[in-house]
Amino acid sequence: MFDFSAAAAHLPLLLQYIAEVCCIHLGPEKRYLVEARLGTVIGETGVKDIPAFIAIARADTSGRLRDKIIDAMTTNETLWFRDQRPWDSFERHLFPEYAAELASGRRNRIRVLCAACSTGQEPYSFAMLLDEAASSGRLPGLAPAAFEILAFDISPAALLLASNGRYNQIEMGRGLDAKWKTRYFKETTPGVWQLDEKIRRMVTFRRRNLQDELAGLGQFDLVMCRNVLIYFKDEFKRDLLERLGAIIPTGGLLLLGGSEPLFTHQHLFSQEMIGTTIFYKRKPSTPLP
């Protein structure tokens, strides 16, 4: 393991480098986090100090070491159906609305985006909820085929796991009720659960960085960007929200994490309580004077 206590003087350099490649801004009080996540990555390179580590990371033109740093720093804990409330709001309010619009022909497609999806629990939760609501027959018009669910993340390893749709016992235990487990998963190897192929195919995964231009992904009726903003500096948050605003058409919805209330960007979004959840609704674009 790399000895961080001897490298404390160089910690700011490492934090700066992490901010540069991952866009995550951490203060020196987060040494434990850096230590836990990058300790082995640094140790494996055999370097004696942090400047040497940064030098070899910069010199690695293959980008492999940079990807390792990104994977280690950005792969976050993720849960199935995280925070119950938004899922209730989808089921009771948004799905009926989408169903009515699809049935009446006012719309023929609903596009959903999950930003920073990690290993896929959030987009798959949405897909399961949708499939279950559609097959119950309660909402004629709610056709899963009319939905396009796109999810992106920066970590190649997380995306590979997400697209496999296979989860271990620890991951299955995080927020997944027996109802969903029985209906949509099969234990293929002891301790390994495979997601139903139909649900797996409902979600498309892409590799994208939150720093990237998102406009190329198209427009989305619903964007989930939950528990992501908390990691970033105000300046980056502002920029990201502007870019999210650009991919949500008038009336489209943005969902943030429960602990991330949005007080800025009133030119782009208005707060809207749907069921028991606060969503941010895209306002009409102001015409240029």
Name 185's Cβ contacts closer than 8 Å, sequence gap at least 6.
Answer: 167, 172, 193, 194, 195, 196
Q: Is 253 helix (H, G, I), strand (E, B) or coil?
A: strand
Q: Is 172 in the site for other proteins (CB under 8 A)?
A: no
Name 20's Cβ contacts closer than 8 Å, sequence gap at least 6.
Answer: none
For residue 194, what are the β-bridge partners? 166, 186
Whole-number Å distance between alpha carbons of 222 and 280: 10
- As a whole number of Å, the end-to-end CA separation of the chain is 60
Please, which residue, 187 or 234, has the CB nearer to other proteins?
187
Choose which of 8, 12, 28, 46 interacts with other proteins (CB under 8 A). Answer: 46
Whole-number Å distance between alpha carbons of 194 and 179: 15
Choose which of 168, 204, 259, 271 interacts with other proteins (CB under 8 A). Answer: 168
Question: Near other proteins by CB under 8 A, which window of 106-114, 182-190, 233-241, 252-260?
Answer: 182-190
Whole-number Å distance between alpha carbons of 75 and 111: 25
CB of 84 to other proteins, least distance (A): 23
CB 126 within 8 A of CB 90: yes
CB of 88 to other proteins, least distance (A): 28
Instruction: Please identify which residue in the block is written with the tokens 């429960």.
Output: 258
Choose which of 205, 220, 231, 280 interacts with other proteins (CB under 8 A). Answer: 205
Whole-number Å distance between alpha carbons of 244 and 115: 10
Question: Near other proteins by CB under 8 A, which window of 129-137, 139-147, 165-173, 231-239?
Answer: 165-173
CB of 11 to other proteins, least distance (A): 17
Phi, psi values for residue 159, rounded to 5°:
-65, -35
Please, which residue, 143 or 157, has the CB nearer to other proteins?
157
CB of 151 to other proteins, least distance (A): 11
Q: Is 13 in the site for other proteins (CB under 8 A)?
A: no
Choose which of 75, 76, 209, 219 interacts with other proteins (CB under 8 A). Answer: 75
* Cβ atoms within 10 Å, residue 38: 20
Phi, psi values for residue 195, rounded to 5°:
-70, 145
Q: Is 167 in the site for other proteins (CB under 8 A)?
A: yes
Q: Is 211 in the site for other proteins (CB under 8 A)?
A: no
CB of 126 to other proteins, least distance (A): 20
Phi, psi values for residue 181, rounded to 5°:
-60, -45
Q: Is 208 in the site for other proteins (CB under 8 A)?
A: no
Choose which of 10, 30, 166, 243 interacts with other proteins (CB under 8 A). Answer: 166
Q: Is 59 in the site for other proteins (CB under 8 A)?
A: no
Q: Is 73 in the site for other proteins (CB under 8 A)?
A: no
Which of 212, 214, 211, 208 minimizes the C-alpha distance to 233?
A: 211
Choose which of 18, 38, 57, 68 interacts with other proteins (CB under 8 A). Answer: 68
Interacting residues with other proteins (CB under 8 A): 1-3, 40, 43-44, 46, 64, 67-68, 71, 75, 156-164, 166-171, 188-192, 205, 207
